[in-house]
Structure 1
Amino acid sequence: MAILGEIRKRSWLLLGVIALGLVSFLFNADTFDKMFSKNPNVFGKVNGEDITRDEFNDQLFIMQQQAQQQGQPTKGLEEQAWQILVQSKLIKQQFEKMGLKLTDDIFWSQLQYDPIFAQNQQYFDEKGNFKLQEIKSEIEKSQATNPENYNFWLKNRKAIEYRMMARMLFGNITSGITTSKKEAELMIKFRDEMANIDFVKVDYLEFSKKNDVKVTTQDLADYIKLHPTRFKATASRNLAYAYFPATPSPQDDAATLNELNKLYLKGTDASGGTENFQNTKNDSMFVELNSDVPFIPQYVTPSQLPTEIKDKVATATIGQAFGPYKEQNLYVVSKVLDKQMKPSDSVSSSHILIGYKGAERSTATRTKEEAKVLADKILAEVKANPAKFEEDLKQSDEPNAVERKGSVGWTTPSSPFAPGYLSFLASHRKGDIGLAETNFGFHIIRVDERPEALKYKIAHLAKNIKASDKTENQVLTQATRFIQQTEGKTFNQFKTLAEKNKYQFQNPKTVGRFQGTLPGIGTDKDADVIAWAFDKKRNIGDTDIFTVEGTGDRIVAYVVGKQDEGLADPETVRDQIEPIVKNKVLAKKIIDKINAGKYTSLDQAAKGLGVTKASATVNLFNPSVNGAMEPKVAGAAFGNGVNKLSQPVEGMTGVYLVVKKSVTTNKLPGDIKQITESITQQASQQFTGAFLKSLQDNAKIKDFRIEVWDRNPQQ
């Protein structure tokens, strides 16, 4: 189906306000119901409303299909699926609270504004009218003719409905955002007025050099308690791990090269038999039997060849070989088997489309049999007299066929065209005319242009440079010795030993249960390490060793900390907030020192604090004080009377004492109307994200995924 097929390809358009996730997972709910009291069909609740297994699977299935089509990874994005469902529920709940309704009529009338359709011209005719009836007809037909695509549409429809609700919800709310004349005047005042100030500053960094401050775990915890919304945390683990890659040794590299040279120069048996890659009479069979890379019979251009030989093939003779050379993790010898002028993959073509009742997008009333008779008649005419092609375009069922002269432009094998059409082009040259059938009908196709290029058939004899059993055993011994040395030890001991031995060490402080991959590694074993860390029996300080299948790499993991749902563990976010907390501790010490000095002037304060008095011009819209952004200093400057010493101001980079000398006005362009419109537009744009975040911060969200997921041993 063209429309439904196109939806499946355009995954980026499904994001919108809400980001979708990937990867489906299924399990036997009936069995779980018998074994556990918790309903395995419910993954969580948003303000009491269930997020069900089916909803989760539908979201994941959609994105799994799209990821596979685009060659994208499908692992580790379950968390995004959860977030989309949470946000969708919140939007739907707020939508209904406002008394809004999304009827079937509204859905179809608004469909053209959804990104999937609005940003794709194929859904609009030449006059810009949305092809609603055609789309509805195709969807209805697919229910009987293509159930898989129809089910995919039903899953997509739910996502489209959420986006419609979001658009209607935010549209209604933001329409009420206005700016009063008084507010605009105040903003103009803030924009144009400049305060000329003198100040002294005790810089945090300079003060800390003489006043050592240690930020304790309790200091971090106190700060977190003051900002509970900001530091809401889902369940996570603080993990550390050392990675032991089974990297081929120089001996392994040399052994691979020797093996390749033997096949290339000597022969395939121990006695150095007569057949080798140089003299074989059956290159394709030799490669299939002896190479780690399969034989590719297609002709290729030099740009498609390995870098080592792409500039050499032009002057090569048939049978000439190049190598051995190294290409990534391979040793390769390449032999030129043939060179010929071959048609390019890029083709310019034109067609006459003869549709029939039931064909995709067709409005024709003729039967398929009648369409075939007509197509054969036109084909015979055009083959007998190619000049008749333009005249017969009048019979084409494609819109604007005559105006466009039937041209479909340039295509390649990867172009989004019907397979039957592309198949015809792949096997024909310039000037060829023939008939092809697709789900759109019958096409009388003319190949208008198909340049030729010199192409080469190459046989590649290649061997993977792999770690030997000896090397893998050395890696195992190394990883085993490390885990024995660190078992029962502290995290600092684990880290110190890993760094001392120059092992690859990582310590991502926040690893989510469903993120799928570990930073810095990215192996097929990552998910197992994460599942191990979240096991209910796991304790802080536990270690284990994991083997990466296929490579022999080892991972030694260590549980540094466990974060349950609630407020973030202080040490987990230390890197994030320690500079802020440290400055606050320093600020308190500085303010205590200032207050103890009982200064009555800036000169007195500068002398007593051992700093220099300075001057600056500050503005509330651009609160820069000699290069440092200090909004509190700007606020103090405008809040204080002229020539009055301010109270100590806890700034971003230090503690300030400020005296305002004067205020000047620098009138900038822009009248009240422009400023009003600008403020309103900016406020509306910022509101959407802030409103959704507020809904999520204040919602009662319960996440049962870990409990339900971990009950499924196959997951």
Structure 2
Amino acid sequence: MAILGEIRKRSWLLLGVIALGLFAFLFNADTFDKIFEKNPNVFGKVNGEDITRDEYNDQLMIMQQQAQQQGQPIKGLEEQAWQILVQSKLIKQQFEKSGLTITDDIFWSQLQYDPMFAQNQQFYDEKGNFKLNELKSQIEKSQAERPEDYAFWLKNKKAIEYRMMARMLFGNITSGITTSKKEAELMIKFRDEMANIDFVKVDYLEFSKKNDVKVTTQDLADYIKKHPTRFKATASRNIAYAYFPAAPSAQDDAATLAEINKLYLKGTDASNGAENFQNTTNDSMFVELNSDVPFIPQYVSPNQIPAGLKDKIATATIGQTFGPYKEQTLYVVSKLLDRQMKPSDSVSSSHILIAYKGAERSQATRSKEEAKALADKILAEVKSNPAKFNENLKQSDEPNAVERNGSVGWTTPQSSFAPGYLSFLAAHKKGDIGLAETNFGYHIIKVDERPESIKYKIAHLAKNIKASDKTENQVLTQATRFIQQTQGKSFNQFKNLAEKNKYRFDNPKTVGRFQGNLPGIGTDKDAEVIAWAFDKKREIGDTDIFTVEGTGDRIVAYVVGKQDEGLADPETVRDQIEPIVKNKVLAKKILEKINAGKYASLDQAAKAFGTTKGNADVNLFNPSVNGAMEPRVAGAAFGAAANKLSQPIEGMTGVYLVVKKSVKTNKLPGDVKQISESITQQNSQQFTGAFMKSLQDNADIKDFRIDVWDKTAQQ
């Protein structure tokens, strides 16, 4: 079950350009049956296609396992799980509309290119061949002997199929992206032509200093209505909070230091003081029983040693102890158990590649048998006389092998090299020469450098410096007093009191129901605070207090605003769009003044606005005007008649009046073919993300999860 076990370790649910982590919250089927009269299993719809309870739970369970295996939090990832499912449905729908299918043969033939397999050499043999038959055999065997592994495989198989659909769909569409000769010629023209202009710029920032402008909520709302797709919003809450950390006091610090000193010098209670960290004969067991940090049996390099120990370990004797010293929130005592010279994972090597017809990227005409015979012959010569390695480089099928002396540089086990090549390096030392087979052919490999470095085996006895019950009670008193003072008060009063008392304060503004984590906190209570804020009974101005498990920290939360699904609440996105809207309000005032003045020249306009006339060279490919990106100004410059005053141009940084003086052409390197290829490549790279966003923006997506959560909580 080695391969299936590896799949359990690497169950990435990637989907083409989608790579998201997830959290598991499993809804109870019985509860659903009580809530809904019809379709109790439907959590949402994408263009009419159901997202079922089973799909959601399967997705979340797999991702929860992945997060646990990687030592990551399993909370706060529900929204990303939902997005994976939505995008998977959209990909599948487009895939089927395109008339594409994934047959059984296609699935197995394409499996090795899936990220779960392609990025892990465990799925390949020493020759670099994908272990497909072994995988199939284990899957068939698990169906009868290990049904839990087989069920896990089926869930992953569905995710893999979605990724295949994405790869095939995007591959088919992007293969049709081309650039015409006329388009390339036009782009060259945009790139090479330069217009010289005189201009007057009424800068928004300078104008606002003398013309105060307030951006109202209605101004923001009007801008949002003009860009509905950009500001499509899911349900969210504007939450503010004051955070009261139960930081250990000086007395708590002293108590922890005394505790570790006792274990270090006087001994444990279980041994009646007879065994301590200095005299123990079983260091690993002593650490496991008495430390807040587990025993690590591996040897570590100097850069992995705690800062408080680095300058002492090099000259220490085996068995010598150090400490107690402080490392972040820990008191630590360390004991040197052993030191050894160990080979580095980094290897410098050279090779001679003998390819054959059919090998990857090969242009050779020799058969595989002929290639093996030639590789054996060269290997025998080089092993008998290593000096002949360079002489035989001329027979290598790798481009520029002679010029580079066959060198591939430095590699590590994580390098993106053929598995067979890396397996050879892992098993050999400096100076070794041997033969390895990969999907590129046969390699005569010489290990040029494999440095050794000293590594240490160290036992660490550590104790967390924690807040005592007394400290936690003081924090509770402080938080309780604060919530009493702010209940029924406005948001500004809540904020001002928190800042006046120098409490930690934050206002994330837009918090989604299933995002799980509050920005800036990251505690086990975040999800509970969010659920509280989304309760149907919750009103703006409500407050509550929450206790963080394990630390005793307190969170006092305040509901600032409520956003239902639809267009974004203007005040929620004020920070994002206020500068843009303010410039538009300023531009309107400037344009009114320019139109009223009816200026006949740039000099008149400059005098009226108290600014100066400028000059710049601009082009359409890089529309910069004296350092400011102004595409509208560049466009107007090329569109205006020579030596004629333009109409006012509402730019990014100000309102411009322009007079085009001349146009010249500076021919830059790059012919039509090169430009065409470059544009095509750039468009292809940008397409997948834009296409996916377009599908999602225009899809009919219904999310029933909030109703499900609220109704479930009421049962």
Same fold (TM over 0.5): yes
Cα 1:661/1:284, change in 2 over 3 Å: closer
Cα 1:497/1:668, change in 2 over 3 Å: same
Distance in 2, Cα, partners of 1:643 & 1:311 = 73
Partner of 2:711, secondary structure, is: coil
Partner of 2:229, secondary structure, is: coil
Q: Name 1:213's counterpart in structure 2.
A: 213
Partner of 1:76, secondary structure, is: coil
Distance in 2, Cα, partners of 1:327 & 1:581 = 49
Alpha-carbon distance, 1:159 to partner: 1.5
Q: Name 1:485's counterpart in structure 2.
A: 485
Say if 2:15 and 2:162, in contact at 8 Å, map to a contact too.
no
Distance in 2, Cα, partners of 1:235 & 1:75 = 20
Distance in 2, Cα, partners of 1:180 & 1:285 = 69
Partner of 2:202, secondary structure, is: strand
Please tell me the residue identity of whatever aligns with 2:177: I
Cα 1:658/1:292, change in 2 over 3 Å: same
Say if 2:277 and 2:283, in contact at 8 Å, map to a contact too.
no
Alpha-carbon distance, 1:498 to partner: 0.5
Alpha-carbon distance, 1:673 to partner: 2.5
Q: Name 1:625's counterpart in structure 2.
A: 625
Distance in 1, Cα, partners of 2:295 & 2:170 = 55
Distance in 1, Cα, partners of 2:49 & 2:140 = 31
Say if 1:277 and 1:286, in contact at 8 Å, map to a contact too.
no
Distance in 2, Cα, partners of 1:315 & 1:178 = 65
**Most deviating of 689-698 and 617-626:** 689-698
Confirm or deny that 1:525 pairs with 2:521. Answer: no
Distance in 1, Cα, partners of 2:17 & 2:453 = 47
Cα 1:141/1:286, change in 2 over 3 Å: closer
Partner of 1:489, secondary structure, is: coil
Q: Name 1:42's counterpart in structure 2.
A: 42
Q: Name 1:508's counterpart in structure 2.
A: 508
Say if 2:13 and 2:19, in contact at 8 Å, map to a contact too.
no
Q: Name 1:25's counterpart in structure 2.
A: 25
Q: Name 2:563's counterpart in structure 1.
A: 563
Distance in 1, Cα, partners of 2:288 & 2:7 = 43
Q: Name 1:98's counterpart in structure 2.
A: 98
**Deviation readout 1:2-22 (Å, 9 max, x if unpaired):** 333333333558353233442
Alpha-carbon distance, 1:487 to partner: 0.6
Q: Name 1:642's counterpart in structure 2.
A: 642
Please tell me the residue identity of whatever aligns with 2:42: V
Distance in 2, Cα, partners of 1:225 & 1:176 = 35
Confirm or deny that 1:308 pairs with 2:320. Answer: no
Please tell me the residue identity of whatever aligns with 1:184: A
Alpha-carbon distance, 1:120 to partner: 4.6
Write the mapping of 1:514-593 to structure 2, written as runs, cut at 5 A.
Answer: 514-593=514-593
Say if 1:647 and 1:657, in contact at 8 Å, map to a contact too.
yes
Q: Name 1:185's counterpart in structure 2.
A: 185
How many equivalent pairs are there? 615
Write the mapping of 1:80-99 to structure 2, written as runs, cut at 5 A.
Answer: 80-99=80-99
Distance in 2, Cα, partners of 1:661 & 1:30 = 77
Cα 1:69/1:261, change in 2 over 3 Å: closer
Alpha-carbon distance, 1:345 to partner: 10
Distance in 2, Cα, partners of 1:196 & 1:598 = 24
Q: Name 2:199's counterpart in structure 1.
A: 199
Please tell me the residue identity of whatever aligns with 1:540: I
Q: Name 1:678's counterpart in structure 2.
A: 678
Alpha-carbon distance, 1:522 to partner: 1.2
Partner of 1:213, secondary structure, is: coil
Q: Name 1:609's counterpart in structure 2.
A: 609
Distance in 2, Cα, partners of 1:566 & 1:675 = 42
Cα 1:113/1:289, change in 2 over 3 Å: closer
Alpha-carbon distance, 1:632 to partner: 0.2
Cα 1:567/1:262, change in 2 over 3 Å: same
Cα 1:86/1:610, change in 2 over 3 Å: same
**Deviation readout 1:97-146 (Å, 9 max, x if unpaired):** 22322232332333343333444556567777655444433332332233
Alpha-carbon distance, 1:48 to partner: 0.8
Partner of 1:247, secondary structure, is: coil
**Most deviating of 220-229 and 9-18:** 9-18
Q: Name 1:690's counterpart in structure 2.
A: 690
Q: Name 2:154's counterpart in structure 1.
A: 154
Alpha-carbon distance, 1:520 to partner: 1.4
Q: Name 1:172's counterpart in structure 2.
A: 172
**Most deviating of 622-631 and 681-690:** 681-690
Say if 2:331 and 2:464, in contact at 8 Å, map to a contact too.
yes
Cα 1:83/1:456, change in 2 over 3 Å: closer
Distance in 2, Cα, partners of 1:497 & 1:514 = 30
Distance in 2, Cα, partners of 1:333 & 1:510 = 45
Say if 1:257 and 1:331, in contact at 8 Å, map to a contact too.
yes
Distance in 2, Cα, partners of 1:697 & 1:640 = 37
Distance in 2, Cα, partners of 1:287 & 1:631 = 69
Partner of 1:655, secondary structure, is: strand
**Deviation readout 1:147-202 (Å, 9 max, x if unpaired):** 22222221121112112222222233333333332222222221211111110000
**Deviation readout 1:555-575 (Å, 9 max, x if unpaired):** 000011111111101111111
Distance in 2, Cα, partners of 1:539 & 1:519 = 22
Write the mapping of 1:291-690 to structure 2, written as runs, cut at 5 A.
Answer: 291-293=290-292, 296=295, 303=302, 306-309=306-309, 311-312=311-312, 322-333=322-333, 458=459, 460=461, 462-690=462-690
**Deviation readout 1:209-267 (Å, 9 max, x if unpaired):** 00111111110000000000000111111110010001112233234334555666678
Q: Name 1:226's counterpart in structure 2.
A: 226
Please tell me the residue identity of whatever aligns with 1:619: N
> How many percent of aligned residue pairs carry the same amino acid?
80
Cα 1:98/1:280, change in 2 over 3 Å: closer
Q: Name 1:243's counterpart in structure 2.
A: 243
Distance in 2, Cα, partners of 1:281 & 1:220 = 70
Say if 1:284 and 1:459, in contact at 8 Å, map to a contact too.
no
Say if 1:215 and 1:582, in contact at 8 Å, map to a contact too.
yes
**Deviation readout 1:589-647 (Å, 9 max, x if unpaired):** 00001001001111111112211011101100000000000000001001111111111
Distance in 1, Cα, partners of 2:625 & 2:708 = 54
Please tell me the residue identity of whatever aligns with 1:171: G
Distance in 2, Cα, partners of 1:268 & 1:101 = 67
**Deviation readout 1:374-406 (Å, 9 max, x if unpaired):** xxxxxxxxxxxxxxxxxxxxxxxxxxxxxxxxx
Say if 2:301 and 2:454, in contact at 8 Å, map to a contact too.
no
Cα 1:264/1:34, change in 2 over 3 Å: closer
Say if 1:618 and 1:625, in contact at 8 Å, map to a contact too.
yes
**Most deviating of 227-236 and 92-101:** 92-101
Say if 2:283 and 2:459, in contact at 8 Å, map to a contact too.
no
Say if 2:15 and 2:88, in contact at 8 Å, map to a contact too.
no
Q: Name 1:441's counterpart in structure 2.
A: none
**Deviation readout 1:666-709 (Å, 9 max, x if unpaired):** 12222223322332332222222212111111111101111113
Distance in 2, Cα, partners of 1:315 & 1:634 = 68
Cα 1:282/1:203, change in 2 over 3 Å: same
Alpha-carbon distance, 1:74 to partner: 1.8
**Most deviating of 156-165 and 557-566:** 156-165
Alpha-carbon distance, 1:515 to partner: 1.3
Please tell me the residue identity of whatever aligns with 1:237: R
Q: Name 2:376's counterpart in structure 1.
A: none
Q: Where do 5+ consecutive residues of structure 2 fail to align?
A: 346-410, 420-426, 428-449
Cα 1:225/1:290, change in 2 over 3 Å: same
Distance in 2, Cα, partners of 1:192 & 1:214 = 42
**Most deviating of 521-530 and 255-264:** 255-264
Say if 1:287 and 1:295, in contact at 8 Å, map to a contact too.
no
Say if 1:287 and 1:459, in contact at 8 Å, map to a contact too.
no
**Most deviating of 292-301 and 703-712:** 292-301
